[in-house]
Chain A
């Protein structure tokens, strides 16, 4: 199943969505920390699934003081999404055994 993630700025918050469902709200009033584990769960990676990211609409949020931090964070997310298909997975031990006739 394909997954789509998206980054928006809504109500002075950076919002991260997956398949149109908000999963992380980063409130500008509070210091927010996003750990690697959080990002991993964001991808909720399942082998063979494709993950894509919607483009970040800079024009839409040009007035927001969160534009620069959001754009920087988006850059990292896109970087990850772009590199996922190139991951080298070790599957040497998964050779199929076909039943004898």
Chain B
């Protein structure tokens, strides 16, 4: 079973008697192996968990192993001290014309053969004068001779672009300090005063690479620890740095290559501490945990078990967990755990509820738009029908003849002539739309009146008065509407009675009467048709259609620092009338000028899209409904209220906003469990958005994810990797931090792209070796 890392205090800059040759004073005279307990007591008292002797150009192997023996002994005499790393502070000349620089080298030595090599190689190339230094090429040969992995920490006692003050600094040792840092040759810069750290960070602010800055005590006289010596007054100095890592060379390496995830960490108090499976207990990091493994290895089962939230179709997971004797510690309530199951976002996206009940998109009342489209449609149909009717009237006089008969003209009968009436002018009641609109207004006011827990008494009164006013108008319009209907019906009735009257009249009349009557009827019909044609062509403008109102169609609501915006398709469409005509009519007849030319029913039937039979009006009604459906489609956007940075509408983009949104809902959840957050998110967005978002959470919430993506494991620098395997339904688990022995290799071997991600992450480290 691997180990979890923790927050440790580190001092990699302690001298011993081995540095004596460089010191004028006797400050290191008592810093010998015989007085080791003096130092260890001080380190233990000051909660230093990892330290290193970094003597000037010397390595005291005996001192190193003696210290390690005490630390590793079972009696736990100094429980705070976890480990010691072999180290040397070298004087290195980078450029011949420049002063030398102090470079602390930490060696990855695991046994005595390694430390013997360090001591042997240094003795072989030993510097004897206190002002001597290794030229960079010799220094590199020396390190190559030792042949161990190393971390290099350069001394920097002032800002990188400051020339005065502070000796032995990297920035004084070379012309372009940034060029050296760019190569990754130097893993960290060591400062002594807090304000110097600020100056260095300011100098690095425009530098692409994130360089670690660390502090060390530079203690020479152990009994004065953490001071340099008993005569120092430098109590203001920083003497250690804090990282979250195992107290090992690899822990230090991962901290230096990812300072943003390893430095300045804090431990969460509220988190799920552990789970047990098949009799073994596994501890969870209070920070970021990643469950990895092959497909079908039990990752999701483990996540669901930890979350204790089973969906309907997950009874098989319950069975698997039961069979594997799974249990979870109970430090936090289930209600403090937010679980996002695999595919949950896909499913929610399909039904339009990615943000579920947590983020609400506003609904938009499109009735104003719909009413105006309806009015436009009615006016259009009315104009078309009038256009056709006028054309019939005008066409009806083409070839119309009437023969004047002087024998019959002016003659009379005693019978009253009642000529057959013209067909009813229009079946459309001109008051119908007005009546519907007024009824809609009344219904709307009525609905608002029913919401009386929302409005004040005064507002209710005003609404009530408005209702009464509109109601009175509605009654007047209703009367006109009913009269129109009644007159239409009466007109039909009269026509029917006229017909029967004329039949009877004919039977009662003599031949002369009938001739006179027929002549009068023809003359009357001729005159009427000519008059109607003149009237139809009197220049009254048709197709003077109302505008479609697209002004109400977008709304925003804010929640949890995010703005949820709904916009309907028609909103502020400047060509909405043209779009409507395109929807209703076939190509070639999609402008009002085209439609004005459609003066017969046949032409209209061919012009309206896919008319069945002859009912072009009903088809326009159907096409209008389809147009309304298209134009009322909702477009939903989410963006951060503060930045207005829109995140787009793909599921991947929404997913990222969702994670950001859900995790910014403070106070509700202590732990987030996410099954494959990388689903539907491109690697680019994982790096640019998802990782930075999750980064912010690691010290605020406990995170447990299932992932196949090595970027999330390596670049996120997860605190704990839980590796699952399953054979015959028995889940085997191992876990530990990245630097836990064997874990990096496991990730590299197991995850697709894991080797690449590791190489990129550790590029600096590899380049320096």
Contacts and interface: CB of A to CB of B under 8 A. Distances in A.
B467 interface: yes
A27 to B, nearest CB: 10
A36 B415 contact: no
Interface in B444-498: 446-447, 449-450, 464, 467-468, 471, 478-479, 481-483, 485-487, 489-491, 493-495, 497-498
B449 A33 contact: no
A76 B501 contact: yes
Contacts of A46: 483, 486
Interface centre among A34, A39, A45, A88 (most CB of B within 10 A): A39
Contacts of B439: 93, 95, 97
B495 to A, nearest CB: 6
B501 A75 contact: yes
A80 B435 CA distance: 30
Interface string B401-444: 00000000011111111110110000000001001100100110
A35 interface: yes
Nearest to A43: B490
A1 interface: no
Contacts of B414: 28, 65-66, 68-69
A64 B490 CA distance: 32
Interface string A12-25: 00100000000000
Contact residues on B (Cβ < 8 Å of other chain), bracket: 35 or more
Contact of B478 (A14, A26, A69, A94): A94
Contact of B464 (A30, A33, A69, A99): A99
A33 B412 contact: no
A69 B366 CA distance: 62
B762 interface: no
A32 interface: yes
B418 to A, nearest CB: 5
A35 B520 CA distance: 13
A77 to B, nearest CB: 8
B505 interface: yes
19 contacts: A31-B411, A32-B416, A39-B418, A40-B494, A43-B490, A46-B483, A47-B483, A68-B415, A72-B416, A72-B505, A83-B497, A87-B490, A89-B482, A89-B485, A95-B439, A97-B442, A99-B449, A99-B464, A99-B471
Interface of B: 410-419, 421-422, 432, 435-436, 439, 442-443, 446-447, 449-450, 464, 467-468, 471, 478-479, 481-483, 485-487, 489-491, 493-495, 497-498, 500-501, 504-505, 508, 516, 520, 524
Given A26-B416, A47-B482, A97-B471, 7 more contacts: A31-B516, A33-B416, A34-B416, A36-B422, A47-B485, A97-B446, A100-B446
Interface of A: 14, 26, 28-37, 39-40, 43, 45-48, 65-66, 68-69, 72-73, 75-76, 79-80, 83-84, 87-91, 93-95, 97, 99-100
